[in-house]
């Protein structure tokens, strides 16, 4: 995977993912979203919604997100870990 253009803090990564999720699945569920809540189940995301999130996060961070990463992106904590991992390389 390509290294992100800039390192994100955990707080920045969380804010970015929540911002993207608001564009795909707006609603009150986001306000109560816990770090380990399943995004697809809690927000009612289907496969196309999930891919839209992946694409938008990738575009905003400059980081390529591989299909191999999808399993660990089931919850907000997984996204934060992926985006804020120091020295993440391909």
Report pTM: 0.85
pLDDT at residue 87, rounded to an integer = 58
pLDDT at residue 27, rounded to an integer = 86
Return the domain boundaries, the chain. 10-84
Residue stretches of the chain with pLDDT short of 70? 1-6, 87-90
pLDDT at residue 90, rounded to an integer = 38
Domain with residues 10-84, CATH architecture: Orthogonal Bundle (1.10)
pLDDT at residue 31, rounded to an integer = 85
How far apart are the C-alpha atoms of 86 and 25, rounded to whole Å? 29
In three-state form (DSSP H/G/I as H, E/B as E, the rest C), the secondary structure along the chain is CCCCCCCCCHHHHHHHHHHHHHHHCCCHHHHHCCCCCCHHHHHCCCHHHHHHHHHHHHHHHCCCCCHHHHHHHCCHHHHHHHHHCCCCCC
pLDDT at residue 40, rounded to an integer = 93
């Amino acid at each position: 995977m390509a290294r992100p253009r800039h390192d994100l803090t955990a707080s920045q990564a969380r804010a970015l993912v929540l911002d993207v999720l608001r564009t795909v699945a707006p609603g009150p569920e986001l306000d109560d979203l816990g770090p380990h809540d399943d995004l697809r189940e809690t927000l009612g995301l289907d496969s196309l919604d999930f891919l839209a999130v992946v694409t938008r996060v990738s575009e905003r961070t400059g980081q390529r997100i591989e299909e191999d990463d999808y399993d660990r992106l089931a919850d907000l904590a997984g996204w934060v870990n992926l985006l804020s991992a120091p020295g993440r390389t391909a």
